[in-house]
Chains A and B, each alone.
Chain A
């Protein structure tokens, strides 16, 4: 067993209305960042876990996303490669 660190990005499902992202986009426009097309606000989760290898660690985190970390109805998730912690 080794210790790994896996980062997960959770974002509002593409195509779903994202009022929080829209509010930030509008604020950026107000600040003068007129070129901003779109903003999405999500969560960044860091999991430290023991696992036999990096692939196992990533698979386990994918399972965690499906069961708890992300809402399957409203959110998408993306798992970064596991790195030794």
Chain B
């Protein structure tokens, strides 16, 4: 299966994503330059972390208008899998692929830390190899990660099981202490209405080796493989 990893000016997790897909997953990956107009046959698109366009105006606001994003939006609309990680989540929200927005962290500080997230829905193409309620460890590194959305949208996300990950403590409790950025309802990741676009602030691609602290991210990539191949 071919993964397309979009590189914007300022992306900095594209290499991590590439390495996770090729070395850990053993699948094919290609970089897609932001000025490209075609996905080169990629079946899964990853919008990686970083600071596309220097976060000018708002994180993700400019990247959304890159030529490649028109193709990514069409791919998403056709039901193709899109995984937006960190800055990729911000871009997906700005592009309207996901509802809501990511605002400045509540404490106004950049947070670079390992966090725990609880799997809220294991019946998605990104999480089918996890158990519901399972606690995963992954790093976060962001200044604008506080998820917000209008109350009606939050209710809709809850009702439809579209909140996929929430920040949790070691016991699996969804507490304010476990929330690294002040996200509403401890939201760490959500999926689109069609279930094919996942946006998340934690970095699964940087949690793919026990040597580096956690390999909990591997099954997320394997889940996509299992579902898309099926």
Chain A residues within 8 Å of B, Cβ to Cβ? 16-17, 19-20, 23, 68-69, 71, 73-74
Given A20-B108, A74-B148, A68–B57 Cβ distance below 8 Å? yes
A73 touches B107 (CB 8 A): no
Cβ contact within 8 Å between A16 and B104: no
Chain B interface residue number, banded: 10 to 19
Chain B 42-79, CB-CB to A under 8 Å as 1, else 0, gives: 00000000000000011001000100000000000000
Residue of A nearest to B64 (CB): A68
Contact check, B101 vs A73: say whether CB atoms are below 8 A apart: yes
**Residues 62-115 of B at the A interface (beta carbon under 8 Å):** 65, 93-94, 99-101, 103-108
B residues in contact with A71, CB < 8 Å: 58, 61, 94, 101
For A69, list chain B residues within 8 Å (CB).
57
Min CB distance B89 to A, Å, is 14
Whether A73 touches B100, Cβ cut-off 8 Å, given contacts A16-B148, A68-B57, is yes
Q: Which of B106, B107, B148 has the most CB of A within 10 A?
A: B148
Please measure, in the bound complex, the distance between the C-alpha atom of A67 and the C-alpha atom of B2, giving whole angstroms: 33
The total of interchain contacts (Cβ-Cβ below 8 angstroms) comes to 32
Complex formed: what's the CA distance from A71 to B104 in Å? 13
Q: Does B108 lie within 8 Å of A74, measured CB to CB? A: no
Chain A residues within an 8 Å CB radius of B101: 71, 73-74
Instruction: Please state if A19 and B58 are interface contacts (CB–CB under 8 Å).
Output: no
Contact B148 A19, beta carbon cutoff 8 Å: no
A20-B104, A73-B101 given; name 12 further pairs at CB < 8 Å: A16-B148, A19-B104, A19-B105, A19-B106, A19-B108, A20-B108, A69-B57, A73-B93, A73-B100, A73-B149, A73-B150, A74-B148
